Amino acid sequence: MTAQDMRNLLERSQEDTLPTLEDNTFLDFADWFNQEVYPYLYNVNPEDYITEQIINVIAGTDTYAITGDLDNIKTKGCGLYEENKDYSLPETKYNSIVKGFYLKGTNLILTPEPALDDTLTFRNVQVVATLTAMSDITLIDKRFSAFIKDSINTSFYEWSDNGKEIGSSQRVQSSFRQFVRRIQKSHNIYTLNAS
């Protein structure tokens, strides 16, 4: 869904009461909305937002550059993984003897210094890009238009009254929670074949 799609949804639902908006004003709102709803989205459907970086470990080298702009590694499914292991290595501290890692700036540091070559996968959530044009794609999939409409309506009026300081508004937070509950992926149910 683009910022323009968001605007169209708002205009369709609020034809009579919506003030005339400059594109830049609505774009500021759409960017704010995109940034605010992001943690809700990646916490409910983390695999949709996790990026992976392969780290080719060389024996004797403990520091590796991280690509992209890291937002967090606390989300379920994030961390540093060894091949064929379904758990992350622990976050450690400088000079630790425990096999793990820590982050320093844009570098991932392995502890202790690796003695063998290895391949690791660093999984993380990146910072969401700023929207700069009405044609920019938001984090909201277009198929969720019906679910996001109420949240856009609630958020827009709160935002237009209070600006970006509305992040703690109970109405806005409640609208985000309701939206993500509606889009949360449900588990597939499989039946065993009796034959």
The pTM (predicted TM-score) of the whole model is: 0.77
Task: Tell me the C-alpha to C-alpha distance, in Å, between residue 98 and each of 101, 114, 147, 168.
Answer: 9, 11, 46, 39
Q: Span 54-60, mean pLDDT? A: 97
Q: Which residues of 115-135 are buried (b: 16+ CB within 10 A; e: fewer)?
A: eeeeebebbbbeebeebeebe
| Mean pLDDT computed over every residue of the chain | 85
Q: Which residue matches tokens 């995109």?
A: 34
Q: Per mean pLDDT, which range of 76-90, 113-127, 145-159 is the poorest? A: 145-159
Does residue 19 register a pLDDT over 70? no
- In sequence order, the 6+-apart residues with CB closer than 8 A to the CB of 163 are none
pLDDT band at residue 90 under the 50/70/90 scheme = very high
pLDDT band at residue 102 under the 50/70/90 scheme = very high
pLDDT digits (tens, 9 = 90+) for 127-151: 999 999 999 999 888 888 878 888 8
Q: Judge whether 80 and 62 are in contact, CB under 8 Å.
A: no
Residue count of the chain, please give it. Answer: 195
pLDDT reported for residue 187: 42
Does residue 184 register a pLDDT over 90? no
Does residue 14 register a pLDDT over 80? no
